[in-house]
Amino acid sequence: MTHNNSNAHPHPHPELLLPSLRSPADLRGMSVTQLQQLALEIRRAICGQVMKTGGHLAPNLGVVELSIAMHYVFDFAHDRLLFDVGHQCYPHKLLTGRLAMLDGLRTSKGMAGFPEPRESPYDLFSVGHAGTGISTAVGMARGDTLNREGFDPVTNPGGRRVATIIGDASIVNGVAMEGLNGAGTLKRQFLVVLNDNGMSISKPQGAVAEYFNHVRLSPRYGGLKSKAKEMLKGLPGGSLVRGAYHKGSEAFKHMLNEDSWFEHFGLATVGPVDGHDLEQLIRVLSEARNFDRPMVLHVKTIKGKGFGFAESDSSTFHSPPAFSVSGSDPDGAAVVSEGCRVELKKDGRSFTAAIGDIMVEAMKRDGKIVAATAAMPDGTGVSKLLKLYPERSFDTGICESHALDMLAGMAKTGLKPFLAVYSTFLQRAFDQAFQEVSLQGLAVRLLLDRAGLVGGDGAVHHGFCDIALLRVLPRAAIMGAMDEPSLSAAVEFMRNYDAGLSSVRYPRDNVSERFASQACPPYVLGRARCLTPGLDVLEVGGGSDAQLPEAAILAFGTCAIDAVQAGELMKMEHRVAVYDARFAKPVDHELIRALLSRRVPVVTVEDHSVVNGFGSAVVDAAQQMGLDASRVVRLGLPDAWIYQDSRAQQMVQAGIDAASIAQATRGAIAAHTPIEGSGVQGAGERV
């Protein structure tokens, strides 16, 4: 695709500032010209790295000047800086001494893509979900006050100040609203920086987004003249704004927004101000730094700032894979030519692309189907539905709880709702899955993208607990898909499943073509699919045990593909049956009974926590049927955090790659193979 780069910067000064930056304190010795030069270097460094490895690009390009100004004015080695979501933290990390870690971005050897306290004391929370920043900041403000460490301009001028950065799309999240409600009760300095770029990952949704759009189009800076001050007397928060008027400088007074929506929460509001004007930002932040009441600083920024292709298509470049640019500087770090061409690197068809096409076909066949997502239309494939079926498709913004409640209401009217959501964000709507969906016996369907290990986004985004959450809900049908035909079959099953909530999970990965040439049988409630013809224990008659497999691997979701590969690694040694389990609830009781009653060792594999996951469901089923579950070996994500790296490396770390599955299966066979001549079982190591 070709983009006009109207925002190209000139070539930088040959003496680079970023490599010599030891700490944010060094910023205070720089001139504004040098700070602008530093902003250019930071943009070039971030873009150059994301071109090679992928990562969050546009959000970080948009907050470079804001990050510099914040660190210039505050001392966050002492003060508190909290991020909401955190995917805009790259400039912050470069300003706090982590340039050397940039080369290893989103891997175990380098910098995490989100704030990470293991890296630096400047990162207070490991955070990757929206809406949380204000509430945690309120907590730190209250804690510092109780510890007598909080800033007060009179009694403790050297105390800790608190600031949090949140986006205009995140602030509509319910938790953020609760945080604002709490922030308005503080009797001390507290700064909320609203980074308003008119975008989340895609266009923000809802009435609050429309309000911010109105403010951007018609900003009302007006000075608080006598008449305006009189008008404020009757407004909620009016006394607070009058106090701000008396405390601030003339410039500060003229930026107070006397009709701000935030005043209803008891927060004075300044702005909007230009988030790319360093001089203005430093001037306003310097005053806000010493304000002794809670305040919102409304900052207007441009997502993708500095690179034309990112500015004009900030959704695509929100978190792109590696990409190449023709018409770039010799070092490939910045595009400076007119009509540059950008190519995203693609290596296959993703599950996200697959579900988009599958849902298009399903909605074409069934006019009762409606679909929704929570601010992730591109990341869940729903963008295709929004274009083709705008009256039956919805983007609720970053409001997972609202989305699921809304769909419960639609289900009550006889529609067939599907919610496409990242597994890691599903837990934000578990209360609704329990109360408004399952308890009511309603059929709402969950398409769980990014299930399991997610690679570079790391622990904040792993979809590791969706099975555990949903297993507790009566009549829930919990499914996994190993490839695109399976995903299509699962959606078809869900379309006609009316007994309760249903879900299907799939990873942030490409679909396997391994079984593409084979007919995919339909999903039948609680039935697995054998992937190794001739070794299916259900097809073995009453003959000798020599006909039985030596072990069976029951794999859930895409782990079935890895399990088949594991079986191939062992085919010269052992007869191993491999099953695509398909259902984590209900599991295949008939298959489990046939295996364990015939003393066949069972290895369960899942890209989910081993705690309360699919393997636990198999053990529970065995015990319910009075079977010996000691022959079940469970493989899954360990009871520990797995940090950022490639998805393949994370699977090795978790022990669910093909080689690890083969090793565990060999161990299970050895542990239950009679020692020749002894009549007793072997004591092979349990995995």
Give 10-54 as a DSSP string.
PPPPSS-SGGG--SGGGGGGS-HHHHHHHHHHHHHHHHHHHHHH-
Three-state secondary-structure class, residue 422? strand
Quote the tokens at residue 390: 């705008």
Q: What is the pTM of this model?
A: 0.85
For 358-411, write each residue's pLDDT tens digit: 999 999 999 999 999 998 999 999 999 999 999 999 999 899 999 999 999 999
pLDDT of residue 206: 53
Smallest Cα–Cα separation from 92: which of 110, 118, 66, 73? 66
How many Cα atoms are found within 13 Å in the side-chain-facing hemisphere of 567? 26
CA distances from 666 to 47, 532, 553 (A): 46, 17, 11
55 Ramachandran zone, left/alpha/beta (phi>0; psi -120 to 50): left
Domains along the sequence of the chain with CATH:
77-85+129-300 (3.40.50), 351-505 (3.40.50.970), 534-671 (3.40.50.920)
Quote the tokens at residue 434: 């329990």
Instruction: Give the Cα separation of 28 and 33 in Å (integer).
Output: 12
pLDDT of residue 336: 38
pLDDT of residue 210: 54
User: DSSP per residue over 298-327, as a string?
Assistant: EEE--TTTT-HHHHHTTTTTSS---EEEES
Average pLDDT, the chain: 86
**Sign of the C-alpha dihedral, residues 523, 528, 534, 537?**
negative
Judge whether 80 and 149 are in contact, CB under 8 Å: no
pLDDT of residue 256: 59
pLDDT of residue 361: 98
Smallest Cα–Cα separation from 134: which of 207, 186, 78, 68? 186
Instruction: Map tokens 């520990």 to a residue.
Output: 640
Smallest Cα–Cα separation from 429: which of 439, 421, 441, 417? 421
For the chain, the C-alpha Rg in angstroms (whole number) is 28
Show the low-confidence residues of the chain (pLDDT under 50).
1-12, 200-202, 211-212, 214-242, 244-246, 248, 330-340, 542, 676-687
